[in-house]
Chain A
């Protein structure tokens, strides 16, 4: 078929148009978006009290942390790498921020910190998060250890450090008054908090980076074909390093905002968040083989998960259903996307 196409084209000079039909990525994103809307409609009809403006808003606001983490995870998946360390980093950076901000000379070890001003504590906590990102990059890029194993390891290391600092529980005393400002600041006279706005800005920036910038494009090139990327003059190692630092930085910020919101550094915060971030990326059509997927898709993936879990709660299913529902959702997403793309290419 391909040869006949080329001979035809040679006879009649075809003017290549710029864009006639949607690409696979847009197709999958639209598919995911349709599923999200479809599920929302079904849930509105089937679940009592589901269809309310507040529900829609909550779908996003309740999930700001996971969606933010999903941005870094999506970029890394597109480059062909896993990042399962983000949940651990959320715990670590939150604990670090609290520890640095706690005043010196508390009544016991858990209430004694470094007495840094809040801004400095935040900077130091971010540095801690970035250090874990650097560790990921070191093992994946330098030692060529599979990213899934590396980031499982650093997930434990990050959470482990958090547990050591908090002695297995949490630090929440002796904090400066301004520590809780960032996470609880409401915006524009509504109940929308600063972290949600931060997530929206992050999403917008990420979409811009992914679509319009060289940095975003490098990610796709590396994920689509690392060998060709190197032979086209791309420094794969350095780019993947930057992606791990970016993901760790986002996770660090999420951890700090959560610590601020709850005015505590809790060593078990963010448990399974790395899993949820991966789940929403997969639901959103990001391919773990690399080179395929989008942040927008990930966002709709998050909405799907949100609708499903909210509807389940609305139907008075026990919260224990969430794991089973997630498993079924990811299974359906992975198989239907493979199926849809195969049909489309036939």
Chain B
């Protein structure tokens, strides 16, 4: 009741708080990049560079970031609607395997690309079906599909082989690598630009379409959404399908970058996705979150992971990721509590 008498006018403090909430993520990005550039990297020579801000290094980071950047936006919209998808990593692996299989068996690039996207949409609709129609709790439903997609991906790869790759009479076509590695614009590969495109489309979707608005309404106040005549089930189903498609695109990017279809390549991606989205200020209770901020969050995490490789040994990564996840969750909690209390 404390705010019962406040009018719509805002104080300077309120505005400062809102500014901080909207733009903090960019400060974090700048701070992370600045810190990594200041660090003395002479001792390490992993990506043939002397400085973090070396163009080659930046291009490299953006290249390996493509899968995560592709996923972050759709994952954000799904969490805004109050749902979660733990199967994105497995969907990504399965898509990578499917894409590699298609390519190695002579399917032309565009056909393989489109078929894989359709497969991704199918995987997403399985999630949507379990959650929306069968009303299985999202966490359990997507844990089931996490296991299922991973299982199918493993089954698609012959026994005794770890991944789909050249060998045994079959050879990866020469174009296979191009999508994820070959610079097409500003020395950056198509996979990166697709990630940018997907994010741009989703930013527009969030701000300018019924889907974006209904996702926020579904997550913010499901009863109100239903009473307003919104078919929330349809919204959620559609979002699962979109997440599935972006997972497929992420799988294609990863597969092309690594030149193989690895059935384990997406393992742990769901955790990174949750981390990135929480870092971008998305509330786990739903309703709140921005596609663009998650994109920036993904850049931060990739800069941090790649940058860290140059400072500390690789085996520090899991610990840093876990700590970051807990820190993001805790700060998210503090912010939402502050807002509820004000």
Contact = CB atoms under 8 A, between A and B. Distances in A.
Nearest to B270: A152
Contact of B322 (A82, A155, A325): A155
Binding site of A, secondary structure by majority: helix, strand, loop or mixed? helix
A145 B330 CA distance: 7
Interface residues of B, number: 41
A167 B152 CA distance: 32
A320 B151 contact: yes
Most buried by A among B140, B144, B148, B317: B144
Interface in A143-172: 143-146, 148-150, 152-161, 163-164, 166-168
B274 A149 contact: yes
A181 interface: no
Contacts of A152: 271, 274, 325
A18 interface: no
A320 B147 CA distance: 11
A159 B320 CA distance: 11
A43 interface: no
B159 A320 contact: yes
B83 interface: no
A157 B316 CA distance: 10
Contact of B313 (A159, A167, A321, A324): A167
Interface stretch (B11-19, B26-34, B131-139, B197-205): B131-139
A335 interface: yes
Contacts of B154: 320, 323
A240 B94 CA distance: 38
A193 interface: no
B38 to A, nearest CB: 24
Contacts of A318: 155, 159
Contacts of B284: 145-146, 149
Given A164-B316, A330-B144, A323 B151 contact: yes
B56 interface: no
A165 to B, nearest CB: 9
B321 A156 contact: yes
A278 interface: yes
Interface in A127-143: 135, 139, 143
A328 B159 CA distance: 21
Nearest to A158: B322
B150 interface: yes
Contact of B144 (A148, A267, A331): A331
Contacts of B146: 327
B161 to A, nearest CB: 11
A144 B333 contact: yes
B190 to A, nearest CB: 31
A186 interface: no
B148 A327 contact: yes
20 contacts: A82-B139, A139-B326, A145-B333, A148-B139, A149-B284, A153-B323, A153-B325, A154-B326, A156-B318, A156-B321, A158-B322, A160-B318, A163-B316, A168-B315, A282-B140, A318-B155, A330-B143, A330-B147, A331-B144, A331-B148
Interface of B: 130, 134, 136-137, 139-140, 143-148, 150-152, 154-155, 157, 159, 271, 274, 278, 284, 313-323, 325-326, 329-330, 332-334
Interface of A: 82, 135, 139, 143-146, 148-150, 152-161, 163-164, 166-168, 267, 275, 278-279, 282, 288-289, 318, 320-328, 330-331, 334-335
Top 6 A-B residue pairs of the complex, sorted by shortest distance between their CB atoms: A160-B319, A156-B322, A323-B151, A324-B151, A168-B315, A327-B148
